[in-house]
Amino acid sequence: MSDTSVASSVVSEVHALLQRLGVPASAYEGGDLAVRSPLTGQVVAHVPQHTPAQASDAIGRAHAAFATWRTVPAPRRGELIRLLGEELRAAKADLGRLVTLEAGKIPSEGLGEVQEMIDICDFAVGLSRQLYGLTIATERPGHRMMETWHPLGVCGVISAFNFPVAVWSWNAALAVVCGDPVVWKPSEKTPLTALATHAIAQRALARFGSDAPAGLLELIIGQRDIGEVLVQDARVPVLSATGSTAMGRAVGPRLAARFARAILELGGNNAAIVAPSADLDLALRGIAFAAMGTAGQRCTTLRRLFVHESVYDQLVPQLIKVYGNVQVGDPRTEGTLVGPLIDRMAFDGMQKALEQSRALGAKVHGGARVDGLGGPDAYYVRPALVELQKHEGPALHETFAPILYVTRYSTLDEAIAMNNAVGAGLSSSIFTLNMREAEQFMSASGSDCGIANVNIGPSGAEIGGAFGGEKETGGGREAGSDSWKAYMRRATNTVNYSTALPLAQGVKFDV
């Protein structure tokens, strides 16, 4: 197929998918936001954007919805998410394909992203009957003390391009069962998958019935100025913001200034340690997926590898071979494991980091643009493996592209210190068969990240655990475990069922 016909096949497939998913043509034609497919770099849609006033109106509708939604019993709220899960199951193939066309993921990852949405729906349905509070021993006779959890209010969601739909669902599924309406501002690079998800959610709402108020699930399309409307609005008491640390630096203080709750899910600079006892074959496969999967565009992508000096010469040449052989290409082509970068900015950022590495004397394997793929505006690269003598320079910062910095180490303490010596604190892992090393890595004096794995890479989390990281990753937690508490307010209730009025701490106040 010629370049032109490949490009037009992307456009027509995107339009056919949007139509099948129930998105009206007016939502992706004739607007001023040009959406490109990274597969070909071609514009595939023109999406109308919201004005700040329209975004504010959407928040107003969600705020009004809160008054009724918070009184709907939580298990009934869970029923809406059960229906959403059903609709997502029905739409999985189409939505997964759209993720591939709009974000460039290989098919199994596009489908995997939708599966993650289904998984969090299942989790949230169960959660809707488990929003437990504690009963607490009180020091006063004839009293009872307990905690109750109540809906908090409108939950804003700002999401990044690289998980264009899953991040919304991690937040929305929990927020909705917790009694909070949701207003979503997706990445301006991936509005089409957001429009499709919104259409799917509307089908669940229609089936649910009239006790779901209008305004429960709102979508606002635009650039960062539209995100800022969510950040500034006092009617949004909790905001989950996923994206770069630079975005978090802008958003965090503004939320703090109005005492809003922030769930910040920011950049990562994730490492893995390969210890002397590691199963090297397993480590090789774990590293390959974590470092090259999603073309290095996951927040949990493996970016720094510390290999013990006793196994370096065994592992690293094999890894370099895998880097040289991995199939880079159009994700629609059978066998492709590494798709395109999202855009030119990502490509330029990658090349800059590789130049900085060379200037430090590093040995760079791969990293060049793959010619002849996708057209002049598509950016396919061979993943880069960079042998760095010292852990320094560009390795200390996240570059959102497939670059793996590899450095030797001698002692585990040294490797853990390097693991922790960066601003970000999202994910980490160790490959070892030595129980002492594994436990030390996960202990208080081990990895300082929100995720610390053993014998798997740092990427590819499942929804059952709380997801998020420390330091410049922002400290937020989403998805499983008790992450739901961020979407609710806690009330401590003390009830006196006696005729006396004893005061706590023996205080006397007789009037």
Cβ closer to ligand NAD: 212 or 226?
A: 226
Instruction: Tell me the closest approach of the beta carbon of residue 185 to ligand NAD, in angstroms.
Output: 6
Instruction: Tell me the closest approach of the beta carbon of residue 307 to ligand NAD, in angstroms.
Output: 24
Cβ closer to ligand NAD: 267 or 293?
A: 267
Could you tell me the CA-to-CA distances from 468 to 170, 458, 494 in Å, in that order?
Answer: 12, 12, 34
Neighbours of 141 (CB within 10 A): 10
Told to judge if 355 belongs to the known catalytic residues of this protein, a careful annotator would answer no
Instruction: Choose, from 265, 398, 437, 478, the residue flagged as catalytic.
Output: 265
Q: Which residues touch 186 (CB under 8 Å, ≥6 apart)?
A: 159, 164, 168, 193, 194, 219, 221
Phi, psi for 283 (deg, rounded to 5) = -60, -45
Cβ closer to ligand NAD: 387 or 472?
A: 472
Q: List residues binding ligand NAD (CB under 6 A).
A: 158-163, 185, 187-188, 223-224, 227-228, 231, 242-244, 247, 250-251, 265-268, 299, 398, 400, 426, 473
Phi, psi for 479 (deg, rounded to 5) = 70, -120
Instruction: Tell me the closest approach of the beta carbon of residue 202 to ligand NAD, in angstroms.
Output: 21
Cβ closer to ligand NAD: 150 or 485?
A: 485
Cβ closer to ligand NAD: 94 or 398?
A: 398
Q: Which residues touch 154 (CB under 8 Å, ≥6 apart)?
A: 59, 62, 63, 66, 180, 181, 182, 183, 235, 236, 237, 238
Instruction: Tell me the closest approach of the beta carbon of residue 314 to ligand NAD, in angstroms.
Output: 31
Instruction: Tell me the closest approach of the beta carbon of residue 361 to ligand NAD, in angstroms.
Output: 27
Reduced to 3 states (helix: H, G, I; strand: E, B; else coil), residue 476 is: coil
Give percent helix, percent strand, percent coil of the chain, each to the nearest 5: 45, 20, 40
- Sheet harboring 217-219: ordered strands across? 217-219, 182-185, 155-158, 238-242, 261-265
CA distance 93 to 24: 19
Is residue 154 within 8 Å of residue 70, measured between CB atoms?
no
Cβ closer to ligand NAD: 231 or 438?
A: 231
Instruction: Tell me the closest approach of the beta carbon of residue 159 to ligand NAD, in angstroms.
Output: 6
CA distance 499 to 511: 16
Own/partner long-range contacts of 493-496 (Cβ < 8 Å, ≥24 apart): 493/145, 493/146, 493/147, 493/148, 494/138, 494/140, 494/143, 494/144, 494/145, 495/143, 495/144, 495/145, 495/146, 496/140, 496/142, 496/143
Phi, psi for 349 (deg, rounded to 5) = -60, -40
Cβ closer to ligand NAD: 50 or 185?
A: 185
Instruction: Tell me the closest approach of the beta carbon of residue 109 to ligand NAD, in angstroms.
Output: 14
Active site residues: 265
